[in-house]
Amino acid sequence: MTPSRFRQSERISRQGSANGNAIGWDGERVALNIQEQFGHIDIYVFDQILRGNIAPGMRVLDAGCGYGRNLVHLLREGCEVFAVDEDAGGVEHVRRLSASLMTGLPAENFQVGSIEQMPFQNGFADVVICNSVLHFARDEENFRAMLTELWRVVRPGGMLFCRLGSRIGMDFERAGGNIFVIGDGSRWFLVDEEMLLDSTEELNAVLVDPLKTTIVQNLRCMTTWVLRKRIEQ
């Protein structure tokens, strides 16, 4: 691709397609690279996509969406995407992203609000994503409030994907309760394996995968916790 063609591809109307192409202003198909197709997606969200647990046509709610790092591919591929975040700037960015991809989704799908009280009905979404959010809970009560609300909006048979800070694999200084000081000096609410497995049982949920934890050297542990809601719930 020539430099001028590359610059043009950056200005295209990027309606995504299953074959990873987009249509330029001149009607020519322009191949997208991996980053353009998927954005800065979390690798464990990507894993769920590869395995078909998140697929085109599903209603996906990103709770704590930030600036939409996990939504680029899902918007391209025709998921019915909703998102909520307390950061108005992040929500506005996601609205613009959706519009730039010509998804046809209304701006009202992307709302400013808290995870503890989301404006969606029970059993609303096929998939709820909560990525790198729950460790910002103020205390255990706040953590439970967020988890209860996340679970409420998952439909029977649907999936909750969480990635959150944990103590699985590293020791941290306790600052009080379940708040710990991680490697960079930040204070996070950290879970452990027992807490996650107990919560899974309390929710009467099915673990989609065994707990998976990534240790970031001398800084933090990040655990992936993926649950399926039983259809009889």
Determine the pLDDT at residue 14.
40
Considering only residues 114 and 17, tell me which one the structure prediction assigns the higher pLDDT. 114
Same structural domain, 93 and 47: yes
User: What proportions of the chain, in percent to the nearest 5, are helix, strand and coil?
Assistant: 30, 30, 40
Distance between alpha carbon 195 and the CA centroid of its chain, in Å? 21
Specify the pTM.
0.87
Does residue 230 surpass a pLDDT of 70? yes
pLDDT (average), residues 131-158: 98
Does residue 233 surpass a pLDDT of 90? no
SS3 label, residue 70: coil
Same structural domain, 21 and 105: no
Total residues belonging to the chain: 233
pLDDT-based confidence at residue 29 (cuts at 50, 70, 90): low
Same structural domain, 45 and 142: yes
Determine the pLDDT at residue 95.
98
- What domain range includes position 6? 1-32
Same structural domain, 144 and 159: yes
Determine the pLDDT at residue 38.
81
Determine the pLDDT at residue 39.
78
Same structural domain, 81 and 20: no
Determine the pLDDT at residue 170.
96
Cβ pair 224, 212 in contact under 8 A: yes
Report the range out of 11-15, 37-41, 159-163, 229-233 with the highest average pLDDT.
Answer: 159-163
In angstroms, the first-to-last Cα distance of the chain is 53
Q: How many domains does the chain have?
A: 2
Same structural domain, 135 and 149: yes
Same structural domain, 27 and 49: no
Beta bridge partners of 227: 160, 207
pLDDT tens, position by position, 173-221: 999 999 999 999 999 999 999 999 999 999 999 999 999 999 999 999 9
How far apart CA 194 and CA 46 sit, in angstroms, is 26
Determine the pLDDT at residue 94.
98
Same structural domain, 5 and 57: no
Determine the pLDDT at residue 18.
41
Determine the pLDDT at residue 35.
78
Query: Domain with 56 in it: what CATH number?
Result: 3.40.50.150
Mean pLDDT of the chain: 89
What percent of the chain clears pLDDT 90, i.e. is strictly above it?
82
pLDDT (average), residues 22-45: 73
Determine the pLDDT at residue 83.
98
pLDDT tens, position by position, 86-142: 999 999 999 999 999 999 999 999 999 999 999 999 999 999 999 999 999 999 999
Same structural domain, 98 and 6: no
pLDDT-based confidence at residue 19 (cuts at 50, 70, 90): very low
